[in-house]
Chains A and B, each alone.
Chain A
């Protein structure tokens, strides 16, 4: 596209910055995963360990940088950005909500003894 090449300055600095951010987040994740701080493992928030919440938030943060900086979503028009990102976020949240609720229900059924499975 002509308008792309015309005013494209080099993004090198931004690319390396994003690389550093992604690396640091990954290192933090790995360190947390190895030492597993007792406080974060024992504290529960909405029936999930705080540590797992941190992992998920860091992952979404990484996903944001990959999509916005590397895939250059920040440079696309609002229309394209929303039709891709909002569709994905809505459907994924819906799917996760449905399946995890159902999974938890089946766990309760197994646990409350109507079905014997540990033999």
Chain B
């Protein structure tokens, strides 16, 4: 590092940079302050999430019902197991990173290589898991009906178990065609149509007298309110205007669209950090293999990317709590 700085001849003097009150190199200190500003960005997102959640405190989606998938266990209700596994993977990759930093302090090149390799693998598994989590969230599971006011109505049987739209809907032959940009107003098309129409779902609901509607409202005990049969029929006939399958930034079958927006934004921003962390780790990994730091007689670069990597883990700890637990 010294070689990159022009000597001024005033190094010995206090105002010439002679002492280092924080006893940290420029790069490491700036990494800390970058992390501080990045932490404040994430706090902004999470506090905004808290704001929206307090605003809809008695109608917010229940995370356990939304994130309940586990690989190879189709249809099994496994709340949080997968995200707990992801947390472990990230914590473990943090451990291997700190082991790499430690090995760097002792100038053990081969150990640094091994530990950084495992860190990168852990990071890649985590990003992949997040992609899988997004896929499940976007695809949706049961589907729901949206009302005029943008509220979500979900279907349950008399035991309170969720019922999917394809178990309810009765096919009706009046075909609603998707408006494509070759018809009507030029270059103006609509989004993909849902699998069923509101009328098909209504017809099926009327026929199957066991079905009830569940609203977004939470009860005293923190469960979703289930309407009576009459009230369910009334809501469906007067309010229902559309079908929602899965979630995007505008419609969300799990509840308020804000939930989906924050999910995509916060986990997306975090996932982007993990991704860039992996890229930076790979660059440093290659440098370690090439022996750059061996020649520099100093592995501080590993320490700096380590700080960033731990920060990514630190943020995930908070995202995990506020999105999945609280």
Q: Given A12-B99, A80-B29, A92-B43 in contact, is the A71-B324 Cβ separation under 8 Å? A: no
CB–CB A70/B310 < 8 A: yes
CB–CB B80/A34 < 8 A: yes
Q: Given A15-B99, A59-B321 in contact, is the A33-B51 Cβ separation under 8 Å? A: no
Residues of A within 8 A of B269 (CB): none
B314 at the interface (CB under 8 A from A): yes
CB–CB A71/B307 < 8 A: yes
CB–CB B84/A99 < 8 A: no
Please tell me which one of the listed residues B50, B80, B101, B148 contacts residue A103 in the complex, with CB atoms under 8 A apart.
B50
Q: Assign chain B's interface to a size class.
A: 35 or more
CB–CB B106/A55 < 8 A: no
Expressed in whole angstroms, the Cα–Cα distance for A19 and B107 within the complex equals 23
Q: Shortest Cβ distance from A14 into chain B, in angstroms?
A: 9
CB–CB A62/B57 < 8 A: no
Residues of A within 8 A of B149 (CB): 116-119
A76 at the interface (CB under 8 A from B): yes
A87 at the interface (CB under 8 A from B): yes
CB–CB B98/A102 < 8 A: no
Interface size on A, residues (CB 8 A): 57
Expressed in whole angstroms, the Cα–Cα distance for A96 and B307 within the complex equals 25
B300 at the interface (CB under 8 A from A): yes
Interface contacts (Cβ under 8 Å), in number, total 163
Interface of B is mostly: helix
Q: Given A34-B80, A77-B24 in contact, is the A4-B105 Cβ separation under 8 Å? A: yes
Interface of A is mostly: helix
B180 at the interface (CB under 8 A from A): no
B130 at the interface (CB under 8 A from A): no
Q: Shortest Cβ distance from B62 into chain A, in angstroms?
A: 11
B294 at the interface (CB under 8 A from A): no
B114 at the interface (CB under 8 A from A): no
Q: Given A96-B47, A104-B54 in contact, is the A30-B99 Cβ separation under 8 Å? A: no
Expressed in whole angstroms, the Cα–Cα distance for A79 and B23 within the complex equals 9
Q: Given A8-B106, A84-B32, A87-B36 in contact, is the A26-B55 Cβ separation under 8 Å? A: no
CB–CB A79/B102 < 8 A: no
Expressed in whole angstroms, the Cα–Cα distance for A3 and B207 within the complex equals 79
**Can you name 24 A-B residue pairings with CB atoms under 8 Å?**
A5-B105, A8-B106, A11-B102, A18-B95, A26-B87, A27-B84, A33-B324, A52-B325, A55-B321, A59-B320, A62-B317, A70-B98, A70-B310, A70-B313, A71-B307, A77-B23, A88-B36, A95-B43, A99-B50, A107-B55, A110-B55, A118-B149, A118-B215, A119-B147
